[in-house]
Amino acid sequence: MNKKPLIVGNWKMNPSSLVDSKKLLRKISQKVSKIKKATVVVCPPSLFLLGLKGDYKGSKISFGLQNISSEKAGAYTGEVSANMLSKAGGKFVILGHSERRAMGETDDTISKKIKLALSENLTPVICIGEKVRDTQGEYLLFLKTQISETLSSVSKRDLSKIIIAYEPVWAIGEGSRAMTPRDVHETVLFLRKTLSDIYGKKEAMETKFLYGGSVDFSNARAIMIDGDVDGFLVGRASLDADTFVRIIESTV
Ligand code: PGA
């Protein structure tokens, strides 16, 4: 494949300890160092980031978090800022994940977070996705509104600095099924067209798209080729080193 794939592991609220996180990272790092072509990112719970970075001796894996605050600094109990992530050596941040949107995060809040992430030279991986698919195509209108409003703080110049993760909410998590490559392709095309209307064709064509939602080594290659995406945002399957590495291998 010509593209350099980007694979982001979203560990969510796992593993349960720093010790187990280090074990998982070590297993992944032993196997990924040989894969030249892919960019690999691990987003652990924020509490484990520094411990993992300190333990990691390689250079293949980049680190990120699953969220940052929408505020720059100050009295915001429980929050972690973009600046803190950047100073800790993080390069990426997942923003607007559906699990965070379900906790009340709005397009407006996500838009503020994107701005802060960019100001710290972090690469935001911005999640977009419909909750349900209806037969009348209402979900298309939903996606169009969601991507436009979430990206409202992103200028034309900054579009190349962000990554869109298309994650249909119904396809996320254990027991769900990944979208077919053809449907991924169609939806990414629609999202690109929406970006093209806002930012221009060239910018939209150059925007990187990931797919997320029940990605596994059995479906990754087909989605990568026929779905026309640049890589994956992987949840559950990123918690098993063998599976995660097989996903990465299948994209190169
Ligand atoms: P999943 O999660 O791979 O477990 O479906 C993806 C995600 O939530 O980013």
Tell me the C-alpha distance between 161 and 227, whole Å.
Answer: 22
Is 138 part of the annotated catalytic residue set? Answer: no
Give just the sign of the alpha carbon dihedral 66, 70, 76, 80: positive
Residue of the CA atom closest to atom 9 of ligand 1: 235
pLDDT reported for residue 123: 98
Residues with CB under 6 A from ligand 1: 10, 167, 172-173, 212-215, 233-237
Give the model's pLDDT for residue 1: 59
Which pair of tokens denotes residue 14?
């796992």
Predicted model pTM = 0.97
pLDDT in tens, the chain (252 residues): 568 999 999 999 999 999 999 999 999 999 998 898 999 999 999 999 999 999 999 999 999 999 999 999 999 999 999 999 999 999 999 999 999 999 999 999 999 999 999 999 999 999 999 999 999 999 999 999 999 999 999 999 999 999 999 999 999 998 888 899 999 999 999 999 999 999 999 999 999 999 999 999 999 999 999 999 999 999 999 999 999 999 999 999
Residue 226 to residue 180: CA distance in whole angstroms: 9
- C-alpha of residue 200 to centroid of ligand 1, in Å: 30
CB 25 within 8 A of CB 238: no
- How much distance in Å is there from the Cα of 159 to the middle of ligand 1? 24
Q: Which residues contact 185 (CB under 8 A, 6 or more apart)?
A: 226, 227, 228
What is residue 175's predicted lDDT score, i.e. its pLDDT?
A: 81
Exactly one of 97, 105, 130, 185 is catalytic; which is it? 97
Cβ contacts of 101 within 8 Å, gap of 6 or more = 110, 127
Residue 97 appears among annotated catalytic residues: yes
**Cα–Cα distances in angstroms (integers) from residue 213 to residues 14, 29, 233, in the given order:** 17, 23, 8
Instruction: State the pLDDT at residue 112.
Output: 98
Tell which one of 101, 215, 223 to mutate to probe ligand 1, the residue whose CB is within 8 A of the most ligand atoms: 215
Distance between CA 229 and CA 223 in Å, rounded?
Answer: 7
Single out the catalytic residue among 120, 167, 185, 249: 167
